[in-house]
Amino acid sequence: MNIAFLGLGAIGRPMAARVAASGLPLTVWNRTAARAAAFAKEFGVRHAATPADAARDADAVVTCMPTSHDVASLLDGPDGLLAGLGDGATLIDCTSGDPATSRKIRDALAAKNVGYIDAPVSGGTSGAEKGTLTIMVGGDPAVLERARPVLETFGQKIVHCGDVGAGDAVKAVNNAFLATHILAAAEGLAALVKMGVDPKVALDVINASSGRSNASMNLIPERVITRKFPRTFRLALLEKDVGIAAEVARETRVPAPILQLTADLFRIARGEFGEVADHVEAVKMVEQWAGVEIA
């Protein structure tokens, strides 16, 4: 089974490294070609000059881009994926994408008899390195079965969620929870700090109580209180995800004021902190409003 992997970003790179380590024959492509060349040298795999070239002999192509639109932009033209993908191949899109664009990509590929699943991941860059990602899949179960040997190289829990777009929607809603938890925890802790409570003491209580979350248990102790704010998952990408969740709620006509507000707050934070800031840096916006540091 020949694999092509397109998009060696913060999470794509360790995922592709797992594919390489599994021994499956691998070709990589990245927009910034030097990154693909360095990867190919390190792992002893092939790197391609264009998406078409990467896809040419591939049974399965994995994409891991910021947005579904970035994936769609790779399809057309003489160097595009459609020019390289062969009859019966599979596109596994691990982008945290949006359902509507994923459906359009599925339709464009179906005309060439190429299967498509949306297969966004959770578990962060550390989960990708360890091969313990959770993968939420939308699409034809038969296409998922063809893709499974590739997914198993970087994923531990692989869940079929429904038709194309269902994986994207579950991922977006999960990340909307993450975003609301970060902001709510920051607001509450900032208030406690202002009234003189040590945030470590507050978290000791909260993490043994019903208000705990990944934000309170891991992100804030490891990244905020230490003031380390490592850059592992861009705030701009989380802003995109909450926007997708808010859009899913609008399309399904579910009143969702908390999702819409969180999407707006992350849009403000993205404007303030820019494209390279980490998602946990949204806490700094709340700290600025409060005039205290959660430390």
According to the binding rule CB under 6 A, does residue 66 interact with ligand NDP?
yes
Residue type at 174? N
When asked if residue 155 is in the footprint of ligand NDP (CB under 6 A), the reply is no
Minimum distance, C-beta of residue 253 to ligand NDP, in the bound complex (Å): 26
Q: Closest by alpha carbon to 121, among 138, 134, 132? A: 134
Q: Which of 112, 130, 157, 171 is catalytic?
A: 171
30: contact with ligand NDP by CB under 6 A: yes
Cβ atoms of 12 and 41 within 8 Å: the answer is: no
- To ligand NDP, the closest distance from the beta carbon of 9 in angstroms equals 2
For ligand NDP, the closer of residues 32 and 218 by Cβ is 32
Ramachandran category for residue 86: left, alpha or beta (phi over 0 → left; psi -120 to 50 → alpha): beta
The answer to whether 32 contacts ligand NDP (rule: CB under 6 A) is yes
| Residue of the chain from 3, 48, 55, 64 that contacts ligand NDP (CB under 6 A) | 64
Per-residue interface string for the shown chain with ligand NDP, residues 113-142, x marking contact by CB under 6 A:
--------xx-xx-----------------
The smaller minimum CB distance to ligand NDP, of residues 40 and 202, is found at: 40
Q: Is 10 in the site for ligand NDP (CB under 6 A)?
A: yes
Considering only residues 254 through 293, tell me which ones interact with ligand NDP, judged by CB under 6 A. none
**Contacts by 223-226 with C-beta closer than 8 Å and gap 24+?**
223/278, 223/280, 224/186, 224/280, 224/283, 224/294, 224/295, 225/199, 225/200, 225/294, 225/295
In sequence order, the β-bridge partners of residue 278 are 234
Q: Between 30 and 90, whose beta carbon lies closer to ligand NDP?
A: 30
The yes-or-no answer on residue 171 being catalytic is yes
Site string for ligand NDP, 233-252 (x = CB under 6 A): xx--x---------------
Q: How far, CA to CA in Å, does 24 sit from each of 44, 84, 150?
A: 12, 19, 8
Strand locations in 8-151 (E): 26-29, 46-47, 60-63, 90-93, 115-118, 121-122, 133-138
**DSSP letter for each residue of 170-193:** HHHHHHHHHHHHHHHHHHHHHHHH
Q: Tell me the site size for ligand NDP, rule CB under 6 A.
A: 25
For residue 28, give the amino acid letter.
V
User: What counts of helices (H) and strands (E) characterise the chain?
Assistant: 14, 9
Q: Which is nearer to ligand NDP, 193 or 282 (CB)?
A: 282
Whichever of 99 and 199 has its CB closer to ligand NDP, that residue is 99
- The full DSSP string for 122-143 is ESHHHHHHHT-EEEEEES-HHH
The CB-nearest residue to ligand NDP is: 9
The site for ligand NDP (CB under 6 A) is made up of 7-12, 30-32, 35, 64-66, 70, 73, 95-96, 121-122, 124-125, 232-234, 237
